[in-house]
Amino acid sequence: MNEIFPKGHAWIDGNFVALAEAKISILDWGFLRSDATYDVVHVWKGRFFRLDKHINRFFESTKKLRMPCQMDRDELKKILAGCVEKAKLENAYVEMIQTRGMSANFVRDPREATPRIIAFAVPFGWILKQEDFEKGLDVLLTEIKRIPPSSVDPTIKNYHWMDLVTGMLNAYEKGNDTAILVDENNNITEGPGFNLFCVDENGIFTPDYGVLEGITRQTVFDLAKELNIPISKKPISIEQLKNAKELFATSTAGGIMPITKVNGELIGDGKVGENTRNLHEIYWEKHMDSGWSVSINEILAK
């Protein structure tokens, strides 16, 4: 049975455990109602990248869901670092989760539930593998509408993924790498686990509505400022997407990744663009910068 689990380690109910032993009740609101929030930070060469920003967003998400996290942030950092250390991973994908928890006797009032925090670390995973960088992503632009912000606040990282999963299935069935969804006005939103950026003669721009405010997305703004590249948030039409000189995706699972095809059509000349390449390179350089990252050993030593 344990063979289906990747190498890794978890923390649940106050204890570090093997991944196969990290379990929740079927009566947990997180399982029954997707009533949970989470965040994902990565470790590269033994260092967490932008850890404080991920924890800030996690804490803010729990507040927005009216179940504010009661754990001290330094304690949470040690738990995350402990998962990585026990898994013996140098490069890792590290997830922190808070579910609504369980309410006694299956009471339907979510206020009666006791929230539960879970964490785990597994080997680093890629949306676009390093060896495929020059090839770039081939994405399917779907007609599937992203869940609107009036229904689910996209700034709260959540597990309401049926629209995204449907997009992924459609993409895989057509031979694409992944999918992009649109909003109710047919403007571009995001894909499963990633934000989108277009590049034209005026600079870089990304959707301003109906999307998760990704940490890697914000990192692109920070890096663009360093590189003196104009960058903004605004609605992006399907036409603007297809006519972009460059197109790239951003995610904790892979960083800054070129998109070279949409629905089989080349973006620009079909090669990795200059802005995308420059941002990608400086992004990975920052992983060794103490202003942007912190070592696992430093966290555990405190």
pLDDT, one tens digit per residue, over 219-244 is: 999 999 999 999 999 999 999 999 99
Measured at the CA of 225, the angle between CA 56 and CA 180, to 5 degrees, comes to 65
CATH number of 2-123: 3.30.470.10
Phi-psi region of 47 (alpha: psi -120 to 50; beta: other; left: phi over 0): beta
Q: Over the stretch 16-38, which tens digit does the pLDDT of each residue have?
A: 999 999 999 999 999 999 999 99
State the span(s) of the chain assigned CATH 3.30.470.10. Answer: 2-123
Where b means 16+ CB within 10 Å and e means fewer, 15-26 reads ebbebeebebee
- Spell out the CATH class of 130-287: alpha beta
Percentage of the chain surpassing pLDDT 70? 99
Q: Is the pLDDT of residue 141 over 70?
A: yes
Res 1 pLDDT > 50 = no
pLDDT in tens, 101-114: 999 999 999 999 99
CA distances from 291 to 14, 152, 218, 230, 279 (A): 31, 34, 15, 23, 17
The boundaries of every CATH 3.20.10.10 domain in the chain are 130-287
pLDDT at 81: 98
Residue 283 has pLDDT above 70, yes or no: yes
List, in sequence order, the alpha helices (H) in 215-267. 215-226, 238-242
Average pLDDT, the chain: 97
**Widest CA span of the chain, in angstroms?**
61
Alpha-carbon span 89 to 9, nearest angstrom: 10
- pLDDT surpassing 90 at residue 8: yes
Give the tens place of pLDDT for each residue, 173-211.
999 999 999 999 999 999 999 999 999 999 999 999 999
pLDDT confidence band for 262 (50 / 70 / 90): very high
Query: Which of the four pLDDT bands, split at 50, 70 and 90, describes residue 46?
Result: very high
Looking at residue 4, its pLDDT comes to 85
